Amino acid sequence: MATLALPATAGGLVSEIKTGVLAHDVPDLWSGFRLESNSADINVEVILAPSLAFLGGTIQPAIGASINTQGDTSHAYIDARWQIEGPSGLFFSAGLGAAIHDGELGPVAIDKKALGSRVLFHIPFEVGLRLDQHNSLSIYFEHTSNANLANFNEGMDRIGVRYGYRF
């Protein structure tokens, strides 16, 4: 049975803020094809407070961005994020959402991904540890692609570490 939990106050809209550094366009994970530069992305994310209990965890909305530090493809996203937490502080999350990017749609250069459409699916996974009631560290992976709904679909994968602060 799913139950909806709302923030205790109108000012409690944000549940958690996360930030980290991700390796940009990592090969041999989910996506393949040509690679963009060997650079880093800064990831920032806000987990909103409304939640829905589901399959032993909670589903919450997430809004974020991965911004490339060398001018390659960046994106902003919105997801539904399911997270389950263990008694030892370990947690796992997975999500599904949409991303909008500033990269190339078709093949224009050997060092640029042909992502096919401006709006892509955004699929994140995260495994982490709650250090206390507020702080966490995690390994975060995100995949973006158009699921072969456009002529080109090279997709992009990022992976890295994040710090989270829960209010």
Measured CA distances, 52 to 6, 7, 100, 159, 166 (Å): 9, 12, 25, 27, 17
Domains, in order of start, for the chain = 4-166 (2.40.160.20)
pTM for this structure?
0.89
**1 has pLDDT over 50:** no
Residues 6+ apart with CB under 8 A from 60: 15, 47, 48, 49, 50, 51, 52, 80, 81, 83
pLDDT digits (tens, 9 = 90+) for 105-128: 999 888 889 999 999 999 999 999
pLDDT digits (tens, 9 = 90+) for 39-66: 999 999 999 998 889 999 999 999 999 9
Read off the tokens for 7.
């923030």
Other beta carbons less than 10 A from residue 109's beta carbon: 10
What is the chain's Cα-based Rg? 16
